[in-house]
């Protein structure tokens, strides 16, 4: 790992973020679609719904990240660069989701014309709002949750999907893709924590945003089963 959290405030922030993550991880285990996925009792239709729902959030992901980058003022110019390069790396992730959907036999038009579920709407709105405020350092908390989920998808969920379905082409490329740059992303995130988390107030703000994002992400997943 290239960078580790070194400052005392950074360590405190990481401790707090770890707690938010573990509570979120536990809460996710009670979300019905996640239970079925992890216990390998997912129907193909379930998985297709999940992909359609995730896509509507992922396609908007690059927007809040780039919006956030542009909200950082000159004293955070280095942070701005970090975020821009991250956004560039991930701004086409939704294409993988679409590819997986088609590989399951889904119609491209359906996933492309899907709308945001209630949770996605709330999550996206929150992220866009925070990203629009000056120097939104609390978004580190949002990124922590989303990186954590990426890791969970790559290490756990993609395997569970592969175990319960068999197709000629992989249908879990979106989930497994997140494992590839994991180390690098985490190192960048730790560097960010050290850079932007400089006071108790910062720890609180970052933790609060992590909690909100976790809760809204949970809502987004709960809503996957609420389709017409």
Please report, as ranges, the residues that interact with another protein according to CB under 8 A: 4-5, 8, 11-12, 14-15, 18-19, 22-23, 25-27, 29-30, 35, 39, 41, 156, 190
> In the bound complex, what is the minimum distance in angstroms from residue 192's beta carbon to another protein?
14
Which of 51, 203 has the CB closer to another protein? 203
- Is the distance from CB of 121 to CB of 114 less than 8 angstroms? no
Distance CA 208, CA 101 (A): 34
> In the bound complex, what is the minimum distance in angstroms from residue 50's beta carbon to another protein?
18
Which of 25, 78 has the CB closer to another protein? 25
> In the bound complex, what is the minimum distance in angstroms from residue 71's beta carbon to another protein?
28
Angle between helix 44-71 and helix 77-90 axes, rounded to 10 deg: 150
Which of 14, 212 has the CB closer to another protein? 14
> In the bound complex, what is the minimum distance in angstroms from residue 109's beta carbon to another protein?
35
Which of 125, 155 has the CB closer to another protein? 155
Alpha helices in the chain (DSSP H): 8-28, 32-38, 44-71, 77-90, 93-103, 108-112, 118-132, 139-152, 158-164, 173-177, 182-196, 200-222
Neighbours of 105 (CB within 10 A): 10
Which of 11, 63 has the CB closer to another protein? 11
Torsion sign over Cα 206, 193, 22, 86: positive
Phi/psi at 201 (nearest 5 deg)? -60, -40
> In the bound complex, what is the minimum distance in angstroms from residue 37's beta carbon to another protein?
12
> In the bound complex, what is the minimum distance in angstroms from residue 211's beta carbon to another protein?
13
Which of 26, 109 has the CB closer to another protein? 26
Q: How does 27-51 read in b/e, with b if 16+ C-beta sit within 10 Å?
A: bbeebebbebbbeeebeeebbbbbb
């Amino acid at each position: 790992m290239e960078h580790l959290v070194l400052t005392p405030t950074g360590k405190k922030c990481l401790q707090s973020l770890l707690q938010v993550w573990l509570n979120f991880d536990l809460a996710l285990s009670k979300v019905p679609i996640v239970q079925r996925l992890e216990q390998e009792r997912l129907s193909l239709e379930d998985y297709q719904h999940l992909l359609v729902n995730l896509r509507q959030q992922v396609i908007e992901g690059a927007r809040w990240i780039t919006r956030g980058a542009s909200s950082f003022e000159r004293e955070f110019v280095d942070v701005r660069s970090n975020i821009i390069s991250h956004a560039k790396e991930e701004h086409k992730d939704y294409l993988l989701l679409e590819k997986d959907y088609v590989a399951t036999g889904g119609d491209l038009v359906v996933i492309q014309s899907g709308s945001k579920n209630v949770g996605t709407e709330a999550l996206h709105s929150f992220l866009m709002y925070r990203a629009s405020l000056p120097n939104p350092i609390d978004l580190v908390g949002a990124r922590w949750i989303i990186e954590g989920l990426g890791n969970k998808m790559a290490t756990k969920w993609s395997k569970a999907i592969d175990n319960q379905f068999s197709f000629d082409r992989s249908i879990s490329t979106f989930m497994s893709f997140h494992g590839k740059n994991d180390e690098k992303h985490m190192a960048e995130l730790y560097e960010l924590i050290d850079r932007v988390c400089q006071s108790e107030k910062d720890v609180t703000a970052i933790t609060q945003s992590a909690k909100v994002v976790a809760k809204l992400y949970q809502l987004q997943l709960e809503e996957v089963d609420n389709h017409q």
